[in-house]
Structure 1
Amino acid sequence: MCIECDPGTIMKGVAWLRVDTQTILTIQSHVITKNHRIGVTHSEQKTWYLHIKEVKESDKGWYMCQINTDPMKSQVGYLDVVVSPDILDTRTSPDLIVDEGSNVSLHCSARGSPEPLITWKREDGQLIPQGLDNYVASANGPVLNISRVKREHMGPYLCIASNGVPPSISKRIMLVVQFPPTIWIEYQLVGAYDGQEVILECQCEAFPKSINYWTRDRGEIISHSK
């Protein structure tokens, strides 16, 4: 990266300074600062260039080209450093296990320059619940709130951070919803003649997975071997 200063005439005593810290970086062709990334060149002493290698975010700020005349002349320029997004794991939600019907808040924090925009999506492409009976393909903001979470909301959610500086970055957050067993029977009454083999079917849904067994009307547990 190079910052240009044009004094407009041949003269001595051209210096570069970091304005916010009042640090002298170069004087004429000599580098004063101990920062090995700083360099200076000139074109016939008419145009002076401040070079910064391997630019970092900390290099952002105002720089001054100062000309030692009477009176002293100076020019200032601002260096803006753009940085691609980085998600902060310590301030971002881990995988969550919650009970059905509870309220859930997923947090995602990212840094970068400009400040990243946070977008939420479901990895499986399903819609995201937002408010009462409202579903959206994506949601924006550092916090995703889900009220009265349901079992169908279970799955992986993606927190995506982008600020126009590639690449965008994402983190996968798994939302696990626990709920008690629910059973339903398609045929409540099954008829059969003596000696016929019958199949009784019972559908069950639960998380974690339930332990299922059959009993007779007197409470006797039926072994699977029978």
Structure 2
Amino acid sequence: MSSTQKHLLMTLATYLLWTVSLLYGVRPSGSKDAELEPEFAEPIPNVTVSIGRDVKLACVVENLGSYRIAWIHTDRYTLLTLQNRVITRNPRFSIAHNGHRTWTLHITEVEERENGEYMCQINTSPMKSQSGFINVVVPPRIDEGNTSTDMEVKENEEVTLKCVATGSPEPTITWRREDNQPISIGSKKVPSVTGPYLVILKVTRHHMGAYLCIASNGVQPSVSKRILLGVLFHPAISIPNHVVGAAIGSDVILDCQLESHPKSVAYWIRGKDVFIVISNEKYEAKEIAKGTYKTQLSLQIRDLEPDDFGTYYCSAKNSLGEAEGIIKLYGE
């Protein structure tokens, strides 16, 4: 507020105070026979309060006599109380005094709009006043309408996650991975990223997972939102052992490591034409999840016979493509 605006406000406030004083039958002060002029005994302390709580501001005056006290919300140009009367129509405001020395303004269930400067005024001539501030703080809240939701993008594309939060003071946004793994940004790996945007220029399967957008402003509680990032890519198969030896009559397990998203349909082929799609007394196929996009594929072959030796194909297919790995099984 500029000095000119404050001067105009003080003039208006003084006029309002004198006018209301007259309406209530109060003699304007400043006459020659007026008693000792009042003085403020101590400053009004500034108060920080969380939204929804109750708050008090105390104005302490010596020698008030027949002078009158008023409370004014300076920022809203609103006369709140005059002496022991509440002028504002807001039922959450009240006034109390202790022997005409301490005049306490009460606000219950304070709202954010009640943030600002409050003036305690005495109708002397010239008017005397002092001010205190109520700082209404608001815990953070995620703005769901402007914050990213779960998404899926193709590998090597650019992705931007957005998080917007409101609160007072303005919240700080921090991004973390839910699994506490570092976030890969270009060639760097960082534990967290600060700011409303998390930008990954070239997303890979290693970026896949749940991200937490955490909003905090020093007012409890902090809040967070979980955003699941999926990265779409065609299947990739790696083989720990391309050649496996086993004796006739024994059991053997063949292993493949599969990476894919979305999830692939996986199957085994013996030779080029025998599909192993179900488990039975001879074969047992298993899929064991090893992470967000990793799966271990295994094929157990029981009671090996000479006809079981040969080439086995570990295959997988999803909507983006297919992959195949080869294992040769021989007799020892």
Considering the TM-score relative to the shorter chain, is it more than 0.5?
A: yes
SS at structure 2 position matched to 1:36: coil
Name the residue aligned to 1:165. 219
Amino acid paired to 1:146: I
Counterparts of 2:146 and 2:162, CA distance in 1? 7
Are the aligned partners of 1:100 and 1:149 in contact in 2 as well (CA < 8 Å)? yes
Counterparts of 2:184 and 2:256, CA distance in 1? 30
Are the aligned partners of 1:102 and 1:149 in contact in 2 as well (CA < 8 Å)? yes
Counterparts of 1:31 and 1:195, CA distance in 2? 97
1:57 aligns with 2:120: no
Alpha-carbon shift at residue 201 of structure 1 (Å): 4.8
Are the aligned partners of 1:82 and 1:165 in contact in 2 as well (CA < 8 Å)? yes
Are the aligned partners of 2:163 and 2:196 in contact in 1 as well (CA < 8 Å)? yes
The aligned runs of 1:108-119 (5 Å cut-off) are 108-119=163-174
Amino acid paired to 1:13: R
Name the residue aligned to 1:222. 275
1:67 aligns with 2:122: yes
Counterparts of 1:119 and 1:127, CA distance in 2? 13
Deviations 1:150-199 (A, max 9, x none): 11211111111111111111111111111101123344456789999876
Counterparts of 1:79 and 1:68, CA distance in 2? 23
Counterparts of 2:178 and 2:250, CA distance in 1? 48
SS at structure 2 position matched to 1:175: strand
Name the residue aligned to 1:156. 210
SS at structure 1 position matched to 2:62: coil
Counterparts of 2:162 and 2:202, CA distance in 1? 17
Mean CA deviation greater in 5-14 or 182-191: 182-191
Deviations 1:40-75 (A, max 9, x none): 111221221111111121110111112112222222
| Residue 189 (structure 2) aligned to one of 120, 135, 142 | 135
Counterparts of 1:82 and 1:135, CA distance in 2? 35
Q: Which has the larger radius of gyration?
A: 2
TM-score (norm 1): 0.88
Q: Residue 78 and residue 197 in structure 1: after superposition, are their counterparts in 2 closer, same or farther (change >3 A)?
A: closer
Amino acid paired to 1:175: L
Amino acid paired to 1:41: A
Mean CA deviation greater in 118-127 or 201-210: 201-210
Name the residue aligned to 1:10. 64
Q: Residue 192 and residue 40 in structure 1: after superposition, are their counterparts in 2 closer, same or farther (change >3 A)?
A: closer
Question: Which structure has the highest strand share of the two?
Answer: 2
SS at structure 2 position matched to 1:212: strand
Amino acid paired to 2:112: E
Alpha-carbon shift at residue 220 of structure 1 (Å): 4.4
1:38 aligns with 2:38: no
Q: Mark the runs of 5 or more structure 1 residues left unpaired by the alignment.
A: none
| Residue 88 (structure 1) aligned to one of 143, 146, 167 | 143
Q: Residue 195 and residue 52 in structure 1: after superposition, are their counterparts in 2 closer, same or farther (change >3 A)?
A: closer
Q: How many residues align?
A: 224
1:210 aligns with 2:264: yes
Are the aligned partners of 1:87 and 1:170 in contact in 2 as well (CA < 8 Å)? yes
Are the aligned partners of 1:7 and 1:67 in contact in 2 as well (CA < 8 Å)? no
1:103 aligns with 2:166: no
Q: CA RMSD in A?
A: 2.4
Mean CA deviation greater in 30-39 or 70-79: 70-79
Q: Residue 201 and residue 70 in structure 1: after superposition, are their counterparts in 2 closer, same or farther (change >3 A)?
A: closer
Counterparts of 1:29 and 1:196, CA distance in 2? 98
Alpha-carbon shift at residue 81 of structure 1 (Å): 1.0
TM-score (norm 2): 0.61
Identity across the alignment (%): 50
Counterparts of 1:58 and 1:182, CA distance in 2? 58
Mean CA deviation greater in 62-71 or 190-199: 190-199
Query: Does 1 or 2 have the higher relative contact order (CA < 8 Å, sep 6+)?
Result: 1
Are the aligned partners of 2:115 and 2:135 in contact in 1 as well (CA < 8 Å)? yes
